[in-house]
Amino acid sequence: MATIFSKIVAGEIPSYKVAEDEQFYAFLDINPLAKGHTLVIPKREVDYFFDLTDEEIAAMQVFAKKVAAGIKKAFPCIKVGQAVLGLEVPHAHIHLVPMQSERDMLFTNQKLKLTQEEFEDIAKRINEFL
């Protein structure tokens, strides 16, 4: 059965798309730690990040680097933090989170509640800097 993220890539479930190429897809996390919190996923369905091939991890990191640069321009921050957890969705993904402090990377923090319009604006803003 396809993962929820594969359904997002296929357009069967809507998402706020930030970027895409043949191999990877970037979209806003629906429960963001901060405005600009983005997920980068491989289109190939693999649960555990470290089960991706060496080539996929390398290419995914280069793709995430470009997205992170766009996030940093759209949402000025000290740095964009990166995390790989994968305890909730069994489809490998990198979290990119604009950080003003180390605390912004705590996944136990309360998540932001944003409107559809806010999500659309955020995705558009990042996309404009890519």
Catalytic positions, please?
A: 93
Q: Are 19 and 7 in contact (CB under 8 A)?
A: no
Dig out the tokens for 75 from the structure. Answer: 């949402």
Which residues in 3-22 contact ligand 5GP (CB under 6 A)?
A: 4, 13, 15
Binding residue for ligand 5GP, selected from 54, 88, 102, 117, defined by CB under 6 A: 88
Q: Which is nearer to ligand 5GP, 9 or 39 (CB)?
A: 39
Binding residue for ligand 5GP, selected from 11, 22, 54, 87, defined by CB under 6 A: 87
Tell me how far apart the alpha carbons of residues 75 and 71 are, in angstroms, rounded to a whole number.
Answer: 6
Binding residue for ligand 5GP, selected from 27, 38, 74, 75, defined by CB under 6 A: 27
Binding residue for ligand 5GP, selected from 29, 35, 60, 67, defined by CB under 6 A: 29
H helical segments located in the chain = 4-9, 54-74, 116-128
Contact range with ligand 5GP by CB under 6 A, out of 24-32, 46-54, 58-66, 73-81 = 24-32
Report how many residues bind ligand 5GP under the rule CB under 6 A: 14
Write 114-123 long-range contacts (CB < 8 A, 24+).
114/32, 114/35, 118/35, 119/16, 119/28, 120/16, 122/16, 122/28, 122/35, 122/36, 122/74, 122/75, 123/16, 123/17, 123/18, 123/27, 123/28
Q: Which is nearer to ligand 5GP, 24 or 27 (CB)?
A: 27
In the complex, which residues of this chain contact ligand 5GP (CB under 6 A)? Answer: 4, 13, 15, 27-31, 39, 85-89
